[in-house]
Amino acid sequence: MAIPVIDLSVLWDSPADGLSEVAQMFTCAFQEMGFAYITNHHVPQSVIERVFAQHRCFHALPLEEKNKIRLNQWHRGYLPLASYQVKSESKSKGVLVENTKAIVKAPNQSESFIINHEHFEGPPDLKEEELFNRYLQGPNQWPHGMPDFREAVLAYYHELKKLALELSKVFFAASKTDFNRFASHFQRPSIGLRMLHYPPQPSPVPEGVFGSAPHCDHGFITILSQDDIGGLEVKTPSGEWIPAPNMITSNGESAFLINLGDTASKWTNDCLRATPHRVINRSGRDRYSIVFFWDPQLDLVIDTRDLGTHWCPADKKPNYEPHTYGQHLRNLLSNNYAELYYTIDGANSEHDQNKEKDMN
């Protein structure tokens, strides 16, 4: 079983017909494999190459420099090598597919630089200082003296935002639902952009040690870009791990890999799949990837019924109770990351520091 390729050309060439055509390909891809390459995505190759060049420069900095911007309680900054171990188990279509505790024996063999949406992208009626303390609404951290890095990352970020919005329209077209009903929930999206460096893993790779342990993503849509080192693997519905290498199209452009997170899968009543994936870097070389997590506003209620009866017939009860995306995200992050967070003055943050705070 191969990872399908979705060519987005028709989306730009004839938007109305193109949308339903792409939505059909999207449905096929996500009912089955749960991963797809997208080509002709309109993100300039120069923007991708520039951000990867800067990505390498950042991770080549001395550890001391990177540690100055350690991951803070707004989930922004630098996460050192092997500091984080995946704990959440993975379900796909409601069925346990990765018993994480039994499989994972070591922290992820990767280091990351993470930015999220800019905190000033918050509700227009809130003052910045109020917003500052709200869940996940804080400032990004940037390495000192690297203006080119910041510029390259933000250029990439803004291109991917545009692309992700188009992919959201495809999701709603696949759900036979008018995107405009939800557009406002994507005006202040929850975005995570994670730039991962995977040093080569020793050979043979010990059992249970991963660059990225098997997991499903938690959110709505993920857009991944990677170098040509390989190492990413995707679990097929029949339980086989298959490689998901970088793909360069005939016009010399890098394709993106896209997948759905748990939120999208639950929203569709498990009809579309969130698929487990993992990274093992057996190449003997350094691997670099960039993951763009595109999620709705934290207060959006995820309710299958809001997508009509396309994914769940009227006479059936949906598999999940309605819940806000913020509740889901908070559970996930506090389960997996909270003890890693550093406050601005360098001390570890309280585990549940933000528990009682507002969700917006």
Ligand X SMILES: O=C(O)CCC(=O)C(=O)O
**Site for ligand X, rule CB under 6 A:** 194, 196, 212, 217, 224, 226, 232, 277, 279, 289, 291
CB burial of residue 154 (10 Å; 0-12, 13-18, 19+): middle
- Give 331's Cβ-side CA count (13 Å radius): 11
Residue 289 interface partner, choices ligand X, Fe ion, none, CB cut-off 5-8 Å depending on type = ligand X
Minimum CB separation of residue 216 from ligand X in Å reads 9
Residue 194 interface partner, choices Fe ion, ligand X, none, CB cut-off 5-8 Å depending on type = ligand X
Q: Give 294's strand partners.
A: 191, 221
CB 145 within 8 A of CB 277: no
**112 vs 304, beta carbon nearer Fe ion:** 112
Residue 260 interface partner, choices Fe ion, ligand X, none, CB cut-off 5-8 Å depending on type = none
* DSSP run (H or E) holding 111: strand 111-116
Residue 104 interface partner, choices ligand X, Fe ion, none, CB cut-off 5-8 Å depending on type = none
**61 vs 255, beta carbon nearer Fe ion:** 255
Residue 302 interface partner, choices Fe ion, ligand X, none, CB cut-off 5-8 Å depending on type = none
**75 vs 277, beta carbon nearer ligand X:** 277
**Residue nearest Fe ion (C-beta atom):** 217
Determine the Cα–Cα distance for residues 345 and 242; give it in Å rounded to an integer. 44
Residues contributing to the site for Fe ion (CB under 5 A): 217
Q: Give 137's strand partners.
A: none
**292 vs 311, beta carbon nearer ligand X:** 292
CA nearest 258: which of 155, 163, 117, 332? 163
Q: What DSSP state is assigned to residue 227?
A: -
Determine the Cα–Cα distance for residues 124 and 105; give it in Å rounded to an integer. 45
Q: Please give the single-letter amino acid code of residue 175.
A: S
Minimum CB separation of residue 138 from ligand X in Å reads 20
Minimum CB separation of residue 319 from ligand X in Å reads 24
Residue 279 interface partner, choices ligand X, Fe ion, none, CB cut-off 5-8 Å depending on type = ligand X
- Alpha-carbon 181 to chain mean position: 23
**111 vs 217, beta carbon nearer Fe ion:** 217
Minimum CB separation of residue 63 from ligand X in Å reads 20
**Residue nearest ligand X (C-beta atom):** 289
For Cα atoms 134, 274, 184, give the angle at the middle one, nearest 5 degrees.
45
Minimum CB separation of residue 217 from ligand X in Å reads 5
Minimum CB separation of residue 214 from ligand X in Å reads 10
Phi-psi region of 42 (alpha: psi -120 to 50; beta: other; left: phi over 0): left
